[in-house]
Structure 1
Amino acid sequence: MTSKSVAIIGTRGYPSYYGGFETLVRRLAPHLAQQGWEVSVYGRKGATRTDDPSLDTRVRSIITPGVESKSLSTLSSGLTASAHAAWIRPDVALILNVANGYFLPALKARSIRTIVNVDGMEWEREKWGPSAKKVFYNGARLTGRFADEIICDSLEIKRRWHKEFDREGLFIPYGGDVPAERNDIGGYKPGSYALMVARFVPENTVAEFISAAEVISLTHDVVIVGSSGYGGVLEDRVRQLAEASPRVHWLGHLSDDRKLFSLWSNAGAYFHGHSVGGTNPALVQAMTCGAPIVARDTVYNREVMGTTGIFCPPNPAEIAKSILALLADSEKQKVLGASAIERAKTSYSWGDICRKYEAALASAAMSSGGQYA
């Protein structure tokens, strides 16, 4: 029996707690190793936690150089990781982020099969300027042309890729971890506070939530988790609000899953403002934790949540109104939380998702000519 080999390119590494791709890798890499795969995960210097108790030593972590900046980190790290992968020649490469589409021809030239998780429509994100948007869009075009398979994390993203790039994608969403216990961590009374967990970028409706928080915090605690990673106007606004109001608590970026899960589990209302992308990992995890959710009304959030939450337009007055109404209705909180857990359990299980990824990778590896038991 010959073992199968996979290189995972496009994240900050293993194990890392930065975002959704990193969460996926923390679940998928050990699963593949358990199934007999040789797994190599490429990452960036200083972005991984080698002291993590959940680290699976069967997973090989490879750190390659890159330029750490908002505009160059993804491309430069993807370039060096792809060059190294082309040298070691795994059977298949799982590539995350269409910005790495530029490097697919080099992998193809080395007879390495490629599967690309295309994520959301990155070129539509407000945080990028015209040049960066063009880079992402051209990366998507190259992905559509050279990837052996693409994975779409939502049905709407799959539809968009078929319409815009004439590519059929494989639908595999993100999953959520069931909390081991429901603890009240942080001293916040269960059901009494509003919560937002997000990267501080415009398309996550952060500015609008900050304005809404000024109203909500007159009567209720508001807990904000997240940062921009680079400072900026949104961080300044949150910092000023937290300094001005004793009811506003800014925790910054949290890599402690136990505390984060507890915040979701005990929230009276969780606001999810993400507007660009498919199945958002934070939304799925909030559902798995049983958070009562108020979400920005988008086709993506409606696809994920169904009827398990409340939807509102992205303006401060409506956000504040929806959250305050939910905070005042403990019975509604229980109903929404229970329905969210049930939907997450049936549609967003990490076990099912990892098995689907493995099947896609195994199919690609077989197509490369290998014979595997």
Structure 2
Amino acid sequence: MSKSVAIIGTRGYPSYYGGFETAVRRLAPYLAEQGWDVTVYGRRGTTVDDDPDLDPRVIRRITRGVETKSLSTLSYGLTASLDAARRKPDVALVLNCANGFWLPSLKQRGVPTVVNVDGIEWDRAKWGPAAKKVFHQGAVWTARYADRIVYDASSIETRWREEFGRDGDVIPYGGDVPPDYPVEPGLSHRGYALLVARFVPENTVPEFIEAARRIAQTRDVVIVGSSGYGGPIDDAVAALTRSNARVRWFGHVSDDRRLHSLWQHAGAYFHGHSVGGTNPALVQAMACGAPVVARDTVFNREVLDGAGVLVTPDPHDIAATVLTLMDDPDRQQSLSEWAQRRAEAAYSWESVHAAYERSLLAAISERRSVFAGAGRA
């Protein structure tokens, strides 16, 4: 007998927007292969409908929402949760603790929920006081109503245990070791510094821009990403590319092959994410064998486990560390091999998929046990 799952909280399937979308792009076909009926909720105009990897067994449902920076997650989460509650799948996988507000609608219909809380959103500098309060309250509701909680790093579980008293399942993101891709035209193997990030302050993008001014005096610099909404960081990167021909800005890259190539051949990949748990970009960069220079945080230390160089969020420190690494081919090769071994050992998609399925099955079993106990009472 097949089992059904509704996946709520991403832009849809298949989408290449961020970490949750990457995870769902991999998880949904896996669950379908295991015999699940899989429905992924999304937004109109945000999926790649001609994607050759699209699995026709995955049902895609579009709901309405308000497409703004502050309201999109909440509004689309609400409409998707209400639709899923009406359809009553065996379990719902809900992504982002902001959607904790809508868990009671699923609970009232007897739908167990597994919630991946994402990072500590209320610590992110990109949100104002009101948004931070909403995310924190969403976390409170998640802690109260979620049947099971997924954390993508042990350090995130520790924070939630201390603040909300909830343990959970630690399931990181996965990464693929890709085939060898050719170097991006105009670049050279190990000859450029690379940044891949959404343009928000907590990803240390402003500091990297300053560091790039020094790096680009002697080395090429490639920047991948944007804010998605425009703004001062986008303007600063655009100005930097105009003033220095050695700096290239590719914007958002949705082609995995191109992105993997950039990581494979980078002389140094700077990872500045400071808030969150296991970052999918870092895991994939490691799987590609990128020599990593990362901002020193508890999250990045956990993921790298020594397979990278840690720096302070200071432009001078970033520039000096990147340039030192790029002048040391032996160190580049050593870090590249170490990172790839670490990714293969700890962050395979196979183990991630299996862990999610175990969590979903446990939520179904636990909810059925509660109902059985209530029936006997």
Q: TM-score, structure 1 length as denominator? A: 0.98
For residues 11-66 of structure 1, give each alpha carbon's deviation from its aligned partner in whole angstroms, at most 9, with x where no partner exists: 00000000000000011000000000000000011111110000000000101011
Q: Find the counterpart in structure 2 of residue 140 from structure 1.
A: 139
Residue type of the alignment partner of 1:127: K
* CA shift for structure 1 position 366: 2.7
Matched letter for residue 46 of structure 2: A
List structure 1 runs of 4+ shifted beyond 6 angstroms.
none
Distance 1:262 1:95 in 2: 32
Q: Give the superposition deviation at 1:184.
A: 1.2
Give the secondary-structure state (helix, strand or coil) at the position aligned to 1:120: coil
Name the amino acid aligned to 2:128.
Answer: G
Write the deviation string for residues 160-185 of structure 1: whole angstroms up to 9, x where unpaired.
Answer: 01000000111110010121223212
Residue 91 of structure 1 contacts residue 368 of structure 1 at CA under 8 Å; is this kept in 2? no
For structure 2, which runs of at least 5 residues remain unmatched after alignment?
370-377
Deviation, 1:364, is 1.6
In the alignment, what sits opposite 2:257?
A: 258
TM-score, L = length of structure 2: 0.97
CA contact (8 A) 1:43 1:62 kept: yes
Question: 1:194-236 deviations in whole A, cap 9, x for unaligned?
Answer: 0000000000000000000000000000000000000000000
* Contact 2:8 2:94 survives alignment (8 Å): yes
Deviations 1:71-116 (A, max 9, x none): 0100000000001000100010000000000000110000000000
Q: Distance in 1 between matches of 2:343 and 2:277?
A: 15
Match of 1:356 in 2: 355
Equivalent residues of 2:114, 2:147 under 8 A apart:
yes
Q: How much does 1:4 deviate? A: 0.2
Q: What SS does the corresponding residue of 1:369 show, helix, strand or coil?
A: helix
- Give the whole-Å Cα distance in 2 for the aligned partners of 1:56 and 1:337: 33
Question: Match for 1:35: what amino acid?
Answer: Q
Contact conserved, 2:296 with 2:312, CA < 8 A, in 1? yes
Amino acid in structure 2 at the alignment position of 1:83: L
- Please give the residue correspondences for 1:306-345 in structure 2 after superposition, counting only pairs within 5 Å: 306-345=305-344
Matching residue of 2:193: 194
Between the aligned partners of 2:182 and 2:5, the Cα distance in structure 1 is 38
Task: Give, in whole Å, the separation in 2 of the partners of 1:169 and 1:296.
Answer: 27
- In 2, the alpha carbon distance for the partners of 1:367 and 1:159 equals 23
Quick one: which amino acid aligns to residue 145 of structure 2? Answer: F
Give the counterpart letter for 1:318 in structure 2: D
2:304 is aligned to: 305
Instruction: Please state whether the residue corresponding to 1:68 is helix, strand or coil.
Output: coil
* Equivalent position amino acid for 1:309 in 2: G
CA distance in 2, matches of 1:98, 1:366: 23
- Equivalent pair of 1:4/1:365 in contact (CA under 8 Å): no
SS at match of 1:308: coil
Secondary structure of the 1:46 match is coil
Paired letter, 2:163: E
- Residue of structure 1 in register with 2:295 after alignment: 296
DSSP-derived class of the 2:132 partner: helix
> Distance between the aligned counterparts of 1:235 and 1:41, measured in 2?
31
Partner residue in 2 for 1:270: 269
Aligned residues: 369
Residue deviations 1:278-321 (CA, integer Å, cap 9, x gap): 00000000000000000000000000001110000001000000
Report 1:108-257 matches (<5 A): 108-257=107-256
* DSSP-derived class of the 2:53 partner: coil
CA distance in 2, matches of 1:186, 1:281: 26
Q: Secondary structure at the match of 2:368?
A: coil
Secondary structure at the counterpart of residue 94 of structure 2 = strand
Alignment-mate amino acid for residue 364 of structure 1? A
Quote the residue 2:68 is aligned against: 69
% identical aligned pairs: 61
Amino acid at match of 2:210: S
Q: Is 1:81 matched with 2:84?
A: no
Aligned to 1:355, the other structure's residue is in SS state helix
> Does the 8 Å CA contact 2:181/2:257 hold for their aligned counterparts?
no
Partners of 1:119 and 1:183 in 2: CA distance: 34
> 1 CA distance for matches of 2:344 and 2:184?
24
**In the aligned structure 2, how far is the partner of 1:239 from the partner of 1:208?**
15
